[in-house]
Amino acid sequence: MSEQLTIGMVVDNEYYGDPRVSNEAKILVQAGYRVKILCFNFGSYPDREIVDGIELVRVRMVKKTKKRLSALMLTLPYYRWFWRKAISGFIASEKIDVLHAHDMYMARAAREGIGNRAVPLVLDLHEHYPAAIMNYNWAIRFPARLIVRPWRWKRFEGRYLHMADKIILISADFKKDVLSRFPDLKEKNLIVYPNVPDLDELMSYPVDQNILDKQGKFIVFYFGAVAERRGIFTSLEALKLLIKKYPDITMLFIGPVDKADRDRFERYLNDPLLSQNVIHYPWKDISLLPSYINISDICMSPATKNPQHESGIGNKIFQYMSFGRPIIVSDCRPMQELIEREECGLVFTNQNAEELADRIEVLYNNPGLRNEMGEKGRKAALAKYNVGVFKQNLVGLYSEFPKI
C-alpha cells in the first residue's frame, strides 16, 4: 500500500459481542491498515477507545431498545434510519475509504449511509441469515411472527447481496450455495473466511485445572446459545437415557438461553431425574473457555439440521479441537464432513436422542479412542483451522481497494 487505507467496520452490537469481528480487525491492523469500528455502547464503555490498535467509535443505545427496533426492521424503518445516519456521519468524520458491514441485514443501511460517496461496501455474512431467523422460536411464534415477518428476509436476500461490492462468507459450501441461487453475482467478488479462532490469543489464556470440581463426574460440554435450534433439548433427552446406566455423566452448558426456550429449559433443569447432572452458566468470559474445555471429557455441537447450520461451522468446533477434545456433532453437512475427514469425533442424526446417547456411550467406554480423536483434532486445528491459515483471504480482498 502506498498510503494507509482506512477501513470502517460497522457492527450492530458491542465490540466484544462477536470474536469474528475482533479477529478480522486485528488481522487487518497487523497487515498495515487503519481500522475503525462503529458499534454500540450499551452503557459500560467509553464512547471512543483504542483496543489492540483498533479505533472504536461507539454509539449509545439501551440494549432493550436495540432488540425491539432490530426485530421490527422489516415492519418499521427506524432501526435502518438510525444506522443510515450513524454510518453517514462515521464515513464523513472518520474519513473511511472502505465500509465493512457485518451481517446481511445491515446491507441496506450501509449502502444508504454511503450514499453518493465513492466508498466500496464489503458485506460480511456471519451466517445464512434468512434461514437463521426462520429457526428462531421468538421470531416464528404467534403473534411475534406477524410483526417480525421473518419469511420476508428470504425475499430480500438477493437484493441485499447485490448492494455489496465484495462479500465475505463463512464457508466454501455457503459460497457455492449463494452462487447457485444468485448466479449473476461474480465469483471473484466472493471470498471465504471461516469462523476459525485466533490460536495465539486462545492459547494465551491460563488454564485453571480447578475451575470446576468434577468430583468423579464425566463432563459432556456445550458452549454457545442454549436453544431448541442448537439441539439442546435433544442432548437433554439423551442424558435422560444415559444416567440410568451411567449416573456420573454430567452435561455442562455455557451460554445464554433463548427467551422463547427459557421455560422449557428450566423444566429440564428442575427435573428430579436431571437436576444433579446438568450444570448451566448463562455467561463466562472467553478467557475461561480453555479451562472449561480442559476439564471436559467430550465436547458437542448437537445442532438441528437446517439451511443455516448447513452454511458453515461454528467457532466452537475449532476451539474444541484446539484443546484436544473428542467432539460429537449432528449430521449438519459441514460439521459432519470436518469431523469425519479429521477423524476427531463421532456423528449422530440430528434430533435423534437415542443416537446421541449411543455416541456418548461409545466414547465414555473408550478412553483410548477419546484421546486418539482429541489428538487428531488438535493437530488439525493447529495446522489447518485457525486465523493464521485463512488471514490472507481477508488481506488479499483489501489489497484490491485503492486509497480514496
Mean pLDDT of 180-209: 95
State residue 278 phi and psi, 5-degree precision: -130, 130
Mean pLDDT of 78-92: 98
Q: Which amino acid type is present at position 378?
A: R
Between CA 368 and CA 353 the distance in angstroms is: 24
Query: What is the model's pTM?
Result: 0.91
> At 404, is the pLDDT very low, low, confident or very high (cuts 50, 70, 90)?
low
Residues of the chain with CATH 3.40.50.2000: 6-196+388-398, 201-384
pLDDT at 80 > cutoff 50: yes
Residues forming beta bridges with residue 10, ordered by sequence position: 38, 101
Q: List Cα–Cα distances, 350 to 167, 179, 228, 231, 239, in angstroms.
A: 30, 27, 12, 8, 15
Q: Tens digit of pLDDT for each residue in 2-13? A: 478 999 999 999
Closest CA to 124 of 210, 256, 28: 28
Give the percent of the chain with pLDDT over 90.
Answer: 88
Q: Give domain 6-196+388-398's CATH number out of 3.40.250.10, 3.40.50.880, 3.40.50.2000, 1.20.58.1690.
A: 3.40.50.2000
State residue 118 phi and psi, 5-degree precision: -85, 55
Q: Tens digit of pLDDT for each residue in 365-394? A: 999 999 999 999 999 999 999 999 999 999
Report the pLDDT value the prediction gives residue 403, as an integer from 0 to 100: 75
Report the pLDDT value the prediction gives residue 145, as an integer from 0 to 100: 81
Say which residues have a Cβ less than 8 Å from residue 180's Cβ, sequence separation at least 6.
none
Q: Tens digit of pLDDT for each residue in 322-347? A: 999 999 999 999 999 999 999 999 99
- Long-range CB contacts (within 8 A, 24+) of 13-18: 13/39, 13/40, 14/39, 14/40, 14/41, 14/42, 14/45, 14/58, 15/39, 15/45, 15/51, 15/56, 15/58, 18/102, 18/126
Q: In the CATH scheme, what is the code of domain 201-384?
A: 3.40.50.2000
Is residue 123 within 8 Å of residue 101, measured between CB atoms?
A: yes
pLDDT at 158 > cutoff 50: yes
